[in-house]
Chain A
Amino acid sequence: RKEVEQDPGPFNVPEGATVAFNCTYSNSASQSFFWYRQDCRKEPKLLMSVYSSGNEDGRFTAQLNRASQYISLLIRDSKLSDSATYLCVVNSYSGNTPLVFGKGTRLSVIA
């Protein structure tokens, strides 16, 4: 099982829709979780950290389910500008990298 797995998509949704992405991770000892956003041909940028109690930032809600080892990102009232690839990121205790990046889920919001 890969350390971080995401549905690659693409998710094609109309403006105003609600869309949710899930990400599963394999290391039950992981403690830090993030969602990054990457626009086409640009660098990844932190969207939000994911806290145990769940957290919300405007239209974006992130949740953590430790028992099932997955994190989710919910986007409400999708905008055209939300079109991007969303990377799930988890801290790692193996190898030499402190963070493991998922391959990303691509979202296209359509007018």
Chain B
Amino acid sequence: IAGITQAPTSQILAAGRRMTLRCTQDMRHNAMYWYRQDLGLGLRLIHYSNTAGTTGKGEVPDGYSVSRANTDDFPLTLASAVPSQTSVYFCASSDSAGPDTQYFGPGTRLTVL
């Protein structure tokens, strides 16, 4: 593994189903982030983690949860998917929790029907 990986690459999901998007980084970065990107709205922060064991809410956290059990992994869970959660989801990491360069994973394209 080099950098950040995300899985799955894409997914079609029925509304009401539970879904976990996976994100793993091998750069030993302290901070990790989940964004969603929608046409015309740009990147919006969903949740973040400044260091393993801590998480926080971003701009659009409703309907999503995260955990950070270790440095490398930062899964994003949709407990009960709704069509408005159709989006492209990007995981990112940075060495520090401040205004540091963020490195992005390749994204997960999620469609909720």
Chain A residues in the interface with B (C-beta under 8 A): 31-32, 34, 42-46, 49, 87, 91-92, 95-99, 101-104
Contact = CB atoms under 8 A, between A and B. Distances in A.
Contacts of B104: 43-45
A34 B103 CA distance: 12
Given A43-B107, A44-B43, A44-B90, A96 B101 contact: no
Nearest to B31: A98
Closest 7 CB pairs of A and B: A91-B99, A103-B42, A43-B104, A32-B99, A101-B43, A97-B45, A98-B99
A102 B41 CA distance: 9
Contacts of A32: 99-100
Interface of B: 31, 33, 40-43, 45, 48, 56-59, 90, 94, 97-107
Nearest to B42: A103
Determine the main DSSP class of A at the interface with B: loop
Contacts of B107: 42-43
B28 to A, nearest CB: 18
A46 B33 CA distance: 16
Given A43-B90, A43-B106, A44-B90, A96 B57 contact: yes
B56 A96 contact: yes
A60 B58 CA distance: 32
Nearest to B97: A98
Contacts of A103: 40-42
A101 to B, nearest CB: 4
B40 A97 contact: no
A95 B41 contact: no
